């Protein structure tokens, strides 16, 4: 079985060495080459024919965004994972890179002087992403195919649904590929959408606030990063802050957000399962859940809770998912009421949310 060939692009010698050392430890990956800037990287791509590129966002001469733009002109499907600093500036640039065709991103270790800690971080975050995005090389399947979790999921036995109830809240969970998927879903979304929207996107602190700003700027929904104790309102969207779980709790006739730093679930905080479980308890059958592209199986248990309360679930299909892990697990477990391509998710949400509230014509 061929190894995954990676081109490492970073102007910092210490980062090139650290990434190379991490990747060399895995028997399924080899570093085919390194480059200190974008210009050198563009020269090396046709020479070494990499399966994936790691690309630093901030570099002299030709930065990551410029390099990515040039890569996409000749290699539109070559996986590119951006390396970004965990700062507001890094978040802005990362979201810009994702919108321009970057496949994924990893945040740099906060202290590269701590080599052991940095290496451990990269092993945990980078290697699974490389394998997920290059899975087609090992399995003979197209990119975006299911992760190792999906085939192991057993169907869940659900109680018989007694009927479809009016939808009073929309909850969405996503991870890898999520920022672009969310932008697609909410582009042209009804500005007068009559229910609140709560979202978990696996992202670090600062990045989630920037994501909420970007979604608000490009949709008719008033998105913001969720705040503890905030009353949720119809037509508004709330993105869970990075590093905190977000839950929805009833407070009399109101529903409020509760943020906390409880243990990670599915190695995630915020976790989709935490949000969906709380929404299922607060809204029951009047919940519409959506699972978009993402790695792993976060959201599986949350969707089970939701369906057990007779709520509805939409899952993104395999073909249009960057990684069909989270939605794939939900589909495999038999928890999805509808499995649709990304281009139809908005239509399906509106149909189920608004159709349940409007009397059918005779």
- C-alpha atoms less than 13 angstroms from C-alpha of 134 in its C-beta half-sphere: 26
Confidence tier at 151 by pLDDT (50, 70, 90): low
- As a whole number of angstroms, the distance between CA 337 and CA 347 comes to 14
Task: Say what percent of the chain tops pLDDT 70.
Answer: 91
Q: Are 78 and 101 in contact (CB under 8 A)?
A: no
Active-site positions read: 175, 202, 298
Pair 56, 9: CB distance under 8 Å: yes
Q: What is the pLDDT of residues 262-297, one digit of tens each?
A: 999 999 999 999 999 999 999 999 999 999 999 999
Please give the Cα distance from 163 to 161 (Å, whole number). Answer: 6
Model pLDDT, residue 142: 46
Q: What are phi and psi of 192, to 5 degrees?
A: -105, 30
Q: Residue 43: CB partners within 8 Å, gap ≥ 6?
A: none
Residue 141 is predicted with a pLDDT of 46
Q: What is the strand order of the sheet 4-9 is part of? A: 29-35, 4-9, 52-56, 80-84, 104-107
Between 128 and 362, where is the model more confident?
128
Q: Sorting pLDDT into bands at 50, 70 and 90, what band is 82?
A: very high
pLDDT at position 121 is: 84
Per-residue model confidence (pLDDT) at position 185: 97
- Residue 16 has what pLDDT? 94
Q: Using a CB cutoff of 8 Å and minimum separation of 24, what contacts does 126-131 make? A: 126/19, 126/22, 126/23, 126/54, 126/81, 127/22, 127/23, 127/26, 127/29, 128/295, 129/81, 129/104, 129/176, 129/295, 130/4, 130/6, 130/23, 130/29, 130/52, 130/81, 131/4, 131/28, 131/29
pLDDT of residue 177 exceeding 80, the answer is: yes
Kindly report the backbone phi and psi dihedral angles of residue 104, in degrees, each rounded to the nearest multiple of 5, phi listed first. Answer: -165, 180
Residue 252 has pLDDT above 70, yes or no: yes
Question: What pLDDT does 147 receive?
Answer: 46
| Cα–Cα separations (whole angstroms), residue 343 to 186, 292, 293 | 11, 12, 13
Instruction: Specify the pLDDT at position 262.
Output: 97
Domains and CATH numbers, the chain: 4-139 (3.40.50.2300), 150-355 (3.40.50.180)
- Please determine, for residue 111, whether its predicted confidence score (pLDDT) is greater than 60: no
Q: Tokens for 354?
A: 């608004």
- pLDDT of residue 362 exceeding 60, the answer is no
Please give the structure tokens belonging to residue 295.
């790695």
Give the chain's count of helices (H) and strands (E). 12, 14
The pLDDT assigned to 357 comes to: 59
Q: How far apart are CA 99 and CA 180, in angstroms?
A: 6
Binned at pLDDT 50, 70 and 90, residue 117 comes out as confident
> Is pLDDT at 164 greater than 80 in this prediction?
no
The pLDDT assigned to 358 comes to 53
What integer pLDDT is reported at residue 21 of this predicted model?
Answer: 93
Q: How far apart are CA 4 and CA 193, in angstroms?
A: 45
Interior angle at CA 162, CA 159 and CA 163, nearest 5: 130
Mean pLDDT for the stretch of residues 230-237: 97
- Res 138: pLDDT: 58
C-alpha span between 197 and 290 (Å, rounded): 11
């Amino acid at each position: 079985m061929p190894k995954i060939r990676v081109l490492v692009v970073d102007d910092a010698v210490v980062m090139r060495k650290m990434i190379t050392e991490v990747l060399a430890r895995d028997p399924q990956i080899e570093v085919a080459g390194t480059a200190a800037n974008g210009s050198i990287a563009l020269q090396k791509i046709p020479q070494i024919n990499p399966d994936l590129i790691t690309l630093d966002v901030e570099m002299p001469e030709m930065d990551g965004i410029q390099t990515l733009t040039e890569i996409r002109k000749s290699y539109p499907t070559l996986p590119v994972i951006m390396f970004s600093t965990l700062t507001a500036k890094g978040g802005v640039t990362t979201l810009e890179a994702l919108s321009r065709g970057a496949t994924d991103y990893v945040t740099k270790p906060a202290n590269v002087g701590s080599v052991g800690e940095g290496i451990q971080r990269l092993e945990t975050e980078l290697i699974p992403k490389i394998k997920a995005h290059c899975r087609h090389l090992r399995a003979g399947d197209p990119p975006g195919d299911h992760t190792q979790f999906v085939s192991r999921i057993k169907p869940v036995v659900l109680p018989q649904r007694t009927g479809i109830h009016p939808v009073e809240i929309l909850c969405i969970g996503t991870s890898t590929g999520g920022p672009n998927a969310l932008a697609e879903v909410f582009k042209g979304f009804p500005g007068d959408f009559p229910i609140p929207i709560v979202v978990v996107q696996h992202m670090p602190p600062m990045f989630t606030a920037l994501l909420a700003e970007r979604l608000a700027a490009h949709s008719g929904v008033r998105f913001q990063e969720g705040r503890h104790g905030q009353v949720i309102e119809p037509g508004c969207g709330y993105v869970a802050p990075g590093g905190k779980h977000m839950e929805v709790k009833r407070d009399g006739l109101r529903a409020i957000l509760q943020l906390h730093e409880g243990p990670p679930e599915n190695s995630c905080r915020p976790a989709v399962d935490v949000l969906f479980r709380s929404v299922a308890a607060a809204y029951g059958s009047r919940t519409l859940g959506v699972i978009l592209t993402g790695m792993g199986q976060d959201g599986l248990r949350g969707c089970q809770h939701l369906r057990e309360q007779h709520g509805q679930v939409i899952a993104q299909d395999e073909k249009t998912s960057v990684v069909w892990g989270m939605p794939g697990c939900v589909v495999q477990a038999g928890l999805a009421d509808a499995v649709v391509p990304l281009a139809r998710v908005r239509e399906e949400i509106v149909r189920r949310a608004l159709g349940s509230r409007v009397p059918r014509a005779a």
